Amino acid sequence: MSRSFVASLSAMLLLPAAAMAGDLRADANALFAPITSAAAAKAVKSNEITPAKIELGKKLFFDPRMSSSQIISCNSCHNLSLGGVDAGSTSIGHGWQKGPRRAPTVLNAVFNVAQFWDGRAPDLKTQAKGPVQAGVEMNNTPANVEATLNSIPAYVAEFKKAFPSDAKPANFDNFALAIEAFEATLITPGSRFDKFLAGDEAALDATEKQGLRLFMDKGCVSCHGGVNVGGAGYFPFGVAQKPSADVLPAADKGRAAVTKSASDDYVFRASPLRNVALRAPYFHTGSVWTLEEAVSIMAADQLGVKLAGDETKAIVAFLGSLTGEQPRVDYPVLPGRTNDTPRPAQTTTTATAGGH
């Protein structure tokens, strides 16, 4: 029996009992935390966040020339108009290849314990390098990214401003640091749930409060707690019973591919639930299109609980209160290419498998 299984099972047994004591808001404040800019800045390690880095990172996030085809940008899969994800089950990458997993949301990702469904990237700066090099995603190479950046004088100047102590600042490492700085600003404070945590009893209606109580008492919070209402730990998918093959394909063993440990078979990082109502479909397979079905599956397969119809409705209503103020990002005007800028390529150039 894996340590992650024991931890999740223990939490499921203990947290509901603890949540039943005291008033609703006090119980919630013991298990969750509001989103703040200060918390986001504190979550970034080994990367000083500056306005110059943020502005540069924003341009790089939207620039399709960071992909070898010069068609795909970070925003292609993490669309800031769609809750930080794309509209399909799994993302479409280079050469119309279909990725193996659903793109996780970039919104509030700075609060996650690690990035990707399997946690293989410890932070946003590491994560930023992955899709660029993945053959199924942006299909580029660090050398080609650097050649592109250094061929555009405006980018060279912006990198120099953002990284003034570097002799050749327009490099792949700094590319990732700038992306991280921008993504750390993509937070969604001010949700009705956060207002409730702060003392506004009227921020949630009676059904949403019932859903919050059920969310705690039934054990959902054992995996989905903290500031991001999830994203802070790894748990086996299918604790009570194995989900169907379309929800949990046998071939994708999750974190086991990272740790090389059989005890991590079908273990995934718990999905953060902030803004979850905005980003159907659900799960790493993107196979479930309604929150009602997703909640029912998690209750049955993770907790061994069959929810009544009004209980499912109440939990879904509570999840709707997690939608916060969406980032207001002006679409950037990107610097023009020069005769030295690499041309688009359509062939696969890397061997990196990738996948969210």
Catalytically active residues are 137
CB neighbours of 198 closer than 8 A, spacing ≥ 6? 34
The answer to whether the CB of 184 falls within 8 A of the CB of 44 is yes
CB neighbours of 129 closer than 8 A, spacing ≥ 6? 142, 172, 175, 176
Cross-strand bridge partners of residue 79: 85
Local structure of 134: helix, strand or coil: strand
Give residue 301's identity as a one-letter amino acid code: D
The DSSP output letter for 171 is S
- Rounded Cα distance between 105 and 278, Å, is 10
The answer to whether the CB of 171 falls within 8 A of the CB of 146 is yes
The answer to whether the CB of 204 falls within 8 A of the CB of 215 is no
Cross-strand bridge partners of residue 116: none
CA dihedral (299, 217, 84, 135) in degrees, to 10, reads -50
Distances (CA, A) of 320 to 20, 208, 267, 354: 22, 8, 26, 32
CB neighbours of 137 closer than 8 A, spacing ≥ 6? 67, 72, 77, 91, 93, 94, 99, 130, 131, 354, 355
Give residue 141's identity as a one-letter amino acid code: T
Give residue 21's identity as a one-letter amino acid code: A
Instruction: For residue 216, report the phi and psi dihedrals to the nearest 5 degrees.
Output: -80, -50
- Rounded Cα distance between 172 and 160, Å, is 14
Number of C-alpha atoms within 13 angstroms, CB side, residue 258?
20
